[in-house]
């Protein structure tokens, strides 16, 4: 998501959410609850205090009536698969601000979301042109995450209807630590950076090879995103480094829970 994504329809009336933020009692509790992989918890240990403070601030905001997105169990979803299995990093900006859309993975939307966010539609168009993969009817990118694609937003929460509202809240220190951990771990690994905000993070990624292009937003997709072939280029980098390619084809439909 980026700040150019705005709610697609009138926001529904919020329902009270008292679910605890899974990082409020530290990373050991988040690992025990299945929210964070153990090796990611080790990598994020230097910013554990920041995360506990973030949980307190989010709770304060929620108590004041702000609706926090995504749902608390999904906030750390990008860290739920092992760091050791990471193969591609795709950086986003912040979660979709429309309630019921964001799911804790950058650019990914909950399976029931219709219509799809506009940036994601453009990602699917490029996916099809680049790889020939059919375009799914849903926006759930979990199948990529399951293969080691780290779908990480720069900022991991947002206020409903207010894109970019949690920038400078403190998440940047957490995602800085995540990028440092990826750089230290090394390859086979490739980073896909769409847009200037993501590309500004390139120095933090050290030796990781980078695929950079315009953002898939409707405002910029025709100025360098379309035709950039990020998916096949990422696979070429992985194979060249001795790794296995990603199967970028997504299930055409997500089974109902």
- Helix and strand totals (H; E) in the chain: 8, 6
Residue span of the structural domain in which 229 resides: 27-240
Distances (CA, A) of 194 to 56, 153, 168: 32, 12, 21
Query: pTM score, two decimals?
Result: 0.93
| pLDDT for the residue 254 | 76
Enumerate the β-bridge partners of residue 151: 90
Q: Model confidence over 125-143: pLDDT tens digits?
A: 999 999 999 999 999 999 9
The reply to whether 13 falls in a domain is no
CA 53 to the chain's CA centroid: 21
Number of neighbours of residue 183 by Cβ within 10 angstroms: 17
The reply to whether 245 falls in a domain is no
CATH number at residue 113: 3.40.470.10
Q: Model confidence over 79-116: pLDDT tens digits?
A: 999 999 999 999 999 999 999 999 999 999 999 999 99
Residue 110 token pair: 């909950």
The reply to whether 174 falls in a domain is yes
Q: In whole numbers, what is the pLDDT of the chain averaged over residues?
A: 94
The reply to whether 73 falls in a domain is yes
Residue 102 has what DSSP assignment? B
Q: Model confidence over 30-45: pLDDT tens digits?
A: 999 999 999 999 999 9
Please give the tally of structural domains in the chain: 1
- Phi, psi for 195 (deg, rounded to 5): 90, 165
Q: Residue 193 belongs to what H/E stretch?
A: strand 190-194
User: Quick check: 160 and 99 in contact, CB under 8 A?
Assistant: yes
Q: Model confidence over 188-240: pLDDT tens digits?
A: 999 999 999 999 999 999 999 999 999 999 999 999 999 999 999 999 999 99
Give the residue carrying structure tokens 């849903």.
Answer: 138
The reply to whether 46 falls in a domain is yes
Number of neighbours of residue 65 by Cβ within 10 angstroms: 7
The reply to whether 7 falls in a domain is no
Of 186, 240, 184, 232, nearest in space to 211 by CA: 232
Is-catalytic flag, 2? no
| pLDDT for the residue 11 | 47
The reply to whether 18 falls in a domain is no
Q: Kindly name the residue from 2, 74, 94, 140 that is annotated as catalytic.
A: 94
Enumerate the β-bridge partners of residue 162: 159
Q: What percent of the chain lies above the pLDDT cut of 90?
A: 91
Half-sphere exposure of residue 200: CA atoms within 13 angstroms, side-chain side: 8
The reply to whether 9 falls in a domain is no
Half-sphere exposure of residue 76: CA atoms within 13 angstroms, side-chain side: 32
């Amino acid at each position: 998501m980026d700040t150019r994504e705005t709610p697609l329809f009138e926001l529904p009336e919020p329902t009270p959410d008292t679910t605890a933020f899974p990082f409020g009692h530290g990373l050991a509790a988040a690992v025990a609850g299945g929210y964070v992989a153990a090796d990611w918890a080790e990598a994020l240990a230097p910013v554990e205090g920041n995360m506990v403070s973030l949980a307190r601030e989010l709770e304060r905001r929620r108590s004041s009536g702000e609706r926090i997105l995504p749902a608390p169990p999904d906030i750390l979803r990008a860290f739920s698969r092992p760091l050791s299995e990471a193969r591609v990093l795709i950086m986003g900006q912040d979660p979709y601000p429309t309630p019921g859309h964001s799911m804790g993975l950058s650019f990914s939307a909950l399976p029931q979301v219709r219509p799809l966010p506009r940036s994601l539609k453009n990602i699917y168009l490029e996916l099809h042109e680049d790889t020939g993969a059919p375009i799914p009817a849903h926006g759930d990118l979990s199948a990529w995450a399951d293969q080691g694609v780290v779908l990480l937003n720069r900022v991991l929460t947002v206020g409903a209807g207010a894109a970019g509202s949690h920038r400078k809240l403190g998440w940047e220190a957490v995602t800085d630590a995540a990028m440092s951990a990826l750089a230290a771990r090394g390859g086979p690994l490739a980073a896909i950076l769409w847009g200037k905000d993501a590309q500004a993070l390139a120095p933090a990624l050290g030796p990781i090879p980078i695929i950079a292009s315009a953002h898939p937003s409707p405002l910029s997709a025709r100025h360098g995103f379309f035709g950039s072939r990020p998916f096949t280029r990422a696979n070429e980098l992985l194979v060249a480094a001795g790794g296995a390619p990603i199967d970028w084809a997504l299930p055409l439909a997500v089974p109902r829970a």
